Amino acid sequence: MTIAALILAAGRGARAGPGAAKQWRVVAGRRVIDWTLSRFRACPRIDRIALVLPAEAGEAWDAFDGADLILARGGTERAESVRSGLAALAGHGVTRVLIHDAARCCVSQRLIGAVIDALDQAEGAAPGLAVTDALWTGADGAVAGSRDRAGLFAAQTPQGFHYDAIVAAHAAHPGGAADDVEVARAAGIRVAIVPGDPDNLKITQASDFDRAARILRGEMEIRLGNGFDVHAFGPGDHVTLCGVSVPHERGLVGHSDADVGMHAVTDAIYGALARGDIGQHFPPSDPQWKGAASAVFLRHAAGLARDMGYRVGNVDCTLICETPKIGPHSEAMRAAMAQVLGVEKDRVSVKATTSERLGFTGRGEGIAALASATLVPA
């Protein structure tokens, strides 16, 4: 089973007020579209992401060209944009697709997962919020009547479907549907209702940006990871530790540059993200990583954290060895790793200890490193 997310970002959002379209505006320190993409990138069950952008070429296309996305050109109406995105996913083995409005940047992992789970029992599934307020009709600025709220739901996205079924439904629909659920129901597809989330608002009016910012800033999910690495001494005249070349009568043995400190920090970040370790992202069996600078690995881990909506709060690395002496080089090591991570130096700690001549480090057979990393919402 291959699950894709189809993100619609081709609209102009005129009701959000003057300026750029709402998906390109900044809220809580990031663009709306970046928040939205990070939510689906963070879901390990999502295998592909298609992004529908405005048809005209411009900065939006330049920003995402070459990224890990399948790009499609939007149309003048929502349904046309959906069809374009579905067509872009053809040939990628997609069996289920979640169609989502880019303006819903506060969507939660719980809600994404719930829609995916519901597709095991139905060809379509979508989140809805049961209407709890009294409903009025109005005329000339006054209440003209009321409506029964029983059985009414406010529709949300992502709206999930079996891929082939929703492709066929859109192909057969004459147009003018409010959303993909309406298209699906017109084709006879049963759409299960998944409990919606009040925080999964769609930015529509200018005032919605402030509410979205409060929600996003309030999600202080802090992640903590640790890493441990060991490299043995071998031939050489220096060791590379935390990005700094330190003169020594021996080198460290490894497939890459054997930077034991940077490896431990990299694994700590992967651990915090629950995304495996260096060996999974950069297999030692792959010859392209032979002798590679470990900054490549650390930069990838930091970039993955950003893609998933996090930034590095701090990292702490302890080098365990009898020699060489780390103290004279610790400031340079902190600066080197801070530069790779894209953070201030005071968020990076590098320190050292001996093992009191016990064990392999005490016998001078190699160097070990232990690291911790804290990630906070970006």
Q: What share of the chain is helix, strand, coil (3-state, %, to 5)?
A: 35, 30, 40
Residues 249 and 361 in one domain: yes
Between residues 224 and 64, the one the model is more confident about = 224
Mean pLDDT value across the chain: 92
Residues 48 and 98 in one domain: yes
Residue with tokens 């095991």: 120
Residue 220 binned pLDDT confidence (cut-offs 50, 70, 90): low
pLDDT in tens, 65-92: 666 899 999 998 999 999 999 999 999 9
What contacts 327, CB < 8 A, 6 or more positions away? 352
Token output for 210: 């402030």
The SS3 of residue 19 is coil
CA distance 312 to 181: 39
Instruction: State the pLDDT at residue 306.
Output: 85
CA distance 352 to 333: 12
pLDDT in tens, 274-293: 999 999 999 988 888 888 99
Question: How deeply is 326 buried, as exposed, middle or buried, from its count of CB atoms within 10 A (0-12, 13-18, 19+)?
Answer: buried
Residues 160 and 270 in one domain: no
Residues 189 and 254 in one domain: no
Instruction: State the pLDDT at residue 15.
Output: 58
Between the alpha carbon of residue 227 and those of residues 30, 206, 221, 257, the distances in Å are 29, 44, 20, 18
Last residue of a domain, one of 218, 239, 257: 218
The structural domain count of the chain equals 2
52: how many CB neighbours lie within 10 A of its CB?
Answer: 28
CA distance 330 to 352: 9
Last residue of a domain, one of 199, 218, 237: 218
Residues 183 and 38 in one domain: yes
Residues 227 and 186 in one domain: no
Residues 195 and 311 in one domain: no
336: how many CB neighbours lie within 10 A of its CB?
Answer: 24
Residue 311 binned pLDDT confidence (cut-offs 50, 70, 90): confident
Query: At 23, which CATH number?
Result: 3.90.550.10
**Residue ranges making up the domain that contains 159:** 3-218
Residues 213 and 229 in one domain: no
Query: At 327, which CATH number?
Result: 3.30.1330.50
pLDDT in tens, 38-69: 899 888 899 999 999 998 867 777 778 666 89
In percent, the amount of the chain with pLDDT more than 70 equals 96
Taking the chain, what is the end-to-end CA distance rounded to the nearest angstrom?
31
For the entire predicted model, the pTM comes to 0.67
What contacts 55, CB < 8 A, 6 or more positions away? 10, 73, 74, 75
Instruction: State the pLDDT at residue 222.
Output: 87
Q: What is the mean pLDDT of residues 163-183?
A: 95
Last residue of a domain, one of 167, 189, 218: 218
Residues 237 and 210 in one domain: no
* 131 pLDDT above the threshold of 90: yes
* 16 pLDDT above the threshold of 70: no
The SS3 of residue 96 is strand
Q: Is the dihedral of CA 49, 53, 55, 56 positive or negative?
A: negative
Nearest CA to 94 out of 116, 125, 118, 61 is that of 116
Residues 288 and 199 in one domain: no
E strands of 96-188, at which residues?
A: 96-101, 124-130, 135-139, 142-147, 153-155, 159-162
DSSP state of 43: -
Of the listed ranges 132-136, 274-278, 309-313, the one predicted with least confidence: 309-313
Instruction: State the pLDDT at residue 90.
Output: 96
Token output for 230: 């060991």
Residues 40 and 74 in one domain: yes
Token output for 260: 């034991």
Q: Is residue 209 within 8 Å of 106, Cβ to Cβ?
A: no
* 33 pLDDT above the threshold of 90: yes
Residues 23 and 146 in one domain: yes
Instruction: State the pLDDT at residue 309.
Output: 78
CA distance 290 to 294: 11
Residue with tokens 């702490």: 316
Instruction: State the pLDDT at residue 376.
Output: 87
Q: What is the mean pLDDT of residues 179-205?
A: 96
CA distance 372 to 198: 35
